[in-house]
């Protein structure tokens, strides 16, 4: 069972139950944004509703080849009420997946901080996923909140922006100096890099021909990686499955364009 804070993971977690903690606002986007989540069986008991703000939305401009630019409207997501979080919410969970967007500011930052503290007290695995907007908005302040997480996941641009380094190796070294021992870095067409106390490993990408839209590829990577580790795979096995998930997610249109399941990934990975 996985407790997810403010991150939509368009990957079906197989036999793992997913709880989503987030905030939706007024129509027109609230019902649409949750329709697929309900369809795949995500538990929404911890979802909050805000009658004063609109649901957060993103305008995505996609060009041939799958690259895209995004314009976001913050909306309700920053107002996740920390008073409604109870540590017992994690009693039935095995891990927490946290979006760094929850730490940018507003009441949601306090909510996320309480989730992290409750998880640490339980010695529960935490997977923290950065985001370009979160890094731009909060910068190194994110590191203060995320110290001690089990895995920190990001893409190459986020690593360089967060650390101020000019190279991947320099960025990795700076995060090691900050005390982060386990990193998963998504490097696009090169695959991903896993960093552990034992060393660094570049995992080759999974080749796909029909790239439609890269939106959601990073989220698919994070979900697949967390699921694989929780299912007993090694970090390298998890990273390879995550590469595959991210690649396949890019063959559909939109973040919800292709629903992925662990068993499907394992078949394709053979």
CA atoms of 13 and 78, how far apart (whole Å): 26
For residue 124, give Cα distances in angstroms to 2, 43, 114, 176.
10, 19, 13, 21
User: For the chain, which residues make up each domain, given as ranges?
Assistant: 78-269
Q: Provide the CATH number for the domain formed by 78-269 in this structure.
A: 3.40.1190.20
- pLDDT on residue 31: 74
Query: Does residue 91 or residue 256 have the better pLDDT?
Result: 91
Amino acid 11: pLDDT:
46
CA dist., res. 25 & res. 52, Å (int) = 7
Contacts of 79 (CB under 8 A, 6+ apart): 23, 50, 53, 106, 107, 108
Q: What is the pLDDT of residues 42-96, one digit of tens each?
A: 889 999 988 887 776 666 666 666 566 666 667 677 889 999 999 999 998 999 9
pTM of the model: 0.87
The 10s digit of each residue's pLDDT in 218-255 is 888 999 999 999 999 999 999 999 999 888 887 766 65
């Amino acid at each position: 069972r996985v407790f997810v804070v403010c991150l939509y993971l368009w990957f079906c977690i197989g036999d793992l139950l997913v709880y989503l903690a987030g905030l939706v606002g007024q129509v027109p986007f609230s019902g649409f944004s949750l329709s697929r989540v309900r369809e795949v069986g995500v538990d929404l008991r911890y979802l909050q509703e805000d009658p004063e703000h609109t649901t957060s939305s993103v305008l995505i401009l996609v060009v041939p080849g799958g690259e895209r630019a995004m314009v976001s409207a913050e909306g309700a997501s920053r107002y996740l009420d920390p008073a409604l979080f109870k540590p017992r919410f994690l009693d039935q969970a095995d891990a927490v997946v946290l979006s760094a967007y929850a730490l940018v500011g507003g009441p949601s930052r306090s909510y996320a901080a309480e989730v992290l503290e409750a998880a640490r007290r339980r010695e529960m695995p935490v997977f923290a996923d950065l985001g370009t907007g979160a890094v731009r908005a909060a910068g190194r302040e994110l590191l203060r909140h995320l110290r001690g997480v089990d895995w920190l996941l990001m893409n190459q641009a986020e690593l360089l922006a967060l650390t101020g380094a000019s190279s991947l190796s320099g960025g990795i070294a700076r995060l090691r100096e900050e005390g982060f021992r386990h990193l998963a870095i998504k490097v696009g067409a090169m695959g991903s890099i896993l960093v552990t106390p034992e060393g660094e490993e570049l995992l080759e990408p999974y080749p796909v021909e029909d790239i439609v839209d890269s939106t959601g590829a990073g989220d698919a990577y994070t979900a697949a990686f967390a699921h694989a580790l929780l299912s007993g795979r090694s970090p390298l096995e998890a990273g390879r499955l995550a590469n595959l998930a991210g690649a396949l997610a890019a063959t559909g249109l939109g973040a919800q364009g292709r629903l992925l399941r662990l068993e499907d990934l394992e078949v394709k990975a053979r």
